[in-house]
Amino acid sequence: MLHQHFKTPAGGGAIRSYYLAKALASSGLEVVVITGHDQPYKKENVEGIEVHYLSVPYNNSFGFLKRSISFLRFVFKSVAKAAQFKDAKLCYAISVPLTVGLAARWIKKRYKIPYIFEVGDLWPDAPVQMGFVNSYFFKKLLYKLEYTTYREAISIVALSPAIQSAIEQKIPGKKIDMIPNMADTEFFTKTGKNTALEQKYNVSGKFVVSYIGAIGVANGLDYVVECARTSRKAGLPIQFIICGEGALKESLLNKIKRLDLENITLMDFTNRNGVSEVLNITDAALISYKPVSVLETGSPNKFFDALAAGKLVVINFGGWIKNEIEENTCGFYADPNQPADLIKKLKPFLGDRLLLENYQFNARSLAERKYSRKELSAHFINIVTEAVPS
């Protein structure tokens, strides 16, 4: 398994690849993970998974150039490390970044190891639409990398129906399976608010709206600050929590201080147990993106954590997740250009506990019915075992 950002529950962050690797190991397959971190090289056995941590620093606060350098360093180092596993039957390569596809293709060519390519975000569409890539020749190079990476894979795993549809249009006839991110219904449970935790986070008696995730350009979190500002003007007992790290964290904190907003709390990134605590005191989980069409195609972990924890889901973007929460009556869409729209749509839930609990119940039911880690892991094992050469 090739994944630059492999995480375990102890470290926090997105742990989809950990669950996938664990599922394969539990099925009796020998699993090796090649990943990166910001410390010297080390090798660990993580619950039967052999993990090689290459010394390739990366942080969400990195700018575009620094990220690109990190991505390319991982390509060269991971291909070199793969030489130790020439007898491997299959490489499961996980993007983002798209450059992991370059490593997978190189490994295929050099060591004759076929690969399945997992697509979590549409690259290079995302950086192009966000305005990070403007050079015509660089765009052309990236789109060629995308096309050849998809074409040379024996199959593709897409993390959302929107991503699957986009790839089908680019590579007609390609075998594409859809396995979304997973709702960990075993770790996250729908329980009442813990009084001690409410006191710890100073939210007793408040309706809590939390955002848990990256604080970057794509997330458009100035919107959350404006929502807090609008809520304060309306005199509503809503407390906003932003929990995470990223390039824009300091500027966001400065804006909160400048506006003297006491109804919004900016917290540091936390591990899985910390996320569980924040979700326990949360009434509504907010997922925010800038109004850029490609960002509507993703499969954000925070959405599935919110479902598993049984929380009202609030989003400010369109796409398949909007359809999902509306069809299952577990959340609503708020206009990203009108903070007052979010406040207006939240008001009924502040005054009607039964309405809130119905939406939260529906969220948990959706997690159990459609996004169970157990069922999706079994589907993943089937895809991999069918692809392994006999």
Is 247 found in the same domain as 144?
Answer: no
Amino acid at residue number 296: E
Per-residue pLDDT of the chain (390 residues; tens, 9 = 90+): 999 999 998 877 889 999 999 999 999 999 999 999 999 999 999 999 999 999 999 987 888 889 999 999 999 999 999 999 999 999 999 998 899 999 999 999 999 999 999 999 999 999 999 999 999 999 999 999 999 999 999 999 999 999 999 999 999 999 999 999 999 999 999 999 999 999 999 999 999 999 999 999 999 999 999 999 999 999 999 999 999 999 999 999 999 999 999 999 999 988 899 999 999 999 999 999 999 999 999 999 999 999 999 999 999 999 999 999 999 999 999 999 999 999 999 999 999 999 999 999 999 999 999 999 999 999 999 999 999 876
Q: Are residues 221 and 305 in the same domain?
A: yes
Q: Are residues 44 and 137 in the same domain?
A: yes
Q: Do 211 and 283 share a structural domain?
A: yes
Asked if 337 and 198 count as a contact pair (C-beta separation under 8 A), the reply is: no
294, 379: one domain: no
Q: Is 178 exposed, middle or buried (0-12, 13-18, 19+ CB in 10 A)?
A: middle
6 falls within a domain: no
Q: Are residues 142 and 102 in the same domain?
A: yes
Residue 390: per-residue pLDDT: 67
One domain for residues 170 and 234: no
Residue 219 belongs to domain with CATH number: 3.40.50.2000
- Are residues 144 and 278 located together in one domain of the fold? no
Q: Hunting for tokens 């983002």 — which residue is that?
A: 96
The answer to whether residues 79 and 105 touch, using CB atoms and an 8 Å cutoff, is: no
Q: Which residue has the tokens 């990223």?
A: 246
Write out the two tokens for 58: 């990366």
Q: How many domains does the chain have?
A: 2
Q: Could you list the residue range(s) of the whole structural domain that residue 94 is in?
A: 16-182+372-387
344-to-15, 63, 338, 350 alpha-carbon distances in Å:
35, 36, 10, 11
- Please, which residues have CB within 8 angstroms of residue 167's CB and are 6 or more apart in sequence? 119, 150, 156, 158, 174, 176
C-alpha 280/C-alpha 275 separation (Å) is 9
Residues 273, 136, single domain; the answer is no
Same domain? 99 vs 155: yes
Q: Residue 88 is encoded by which pair of tokens?
A: 């491997």
CB burial string 131-170: b at 16+ within 10 A, e below: ebbeeeeeeeebbebbeebbeebbbbbbbbbbbbebbeee
Omega before 124 cis (within 30°)? Answer: yes
pTM above 0.85, yes or no: yes
- Are the C-beta atoms of 238 and 231 separated by less than 8 Å? yes
Within this chain, do residues 151 and 246 fall inside the same structural domain, yes or no?
no
140 & 58 share domain: yes
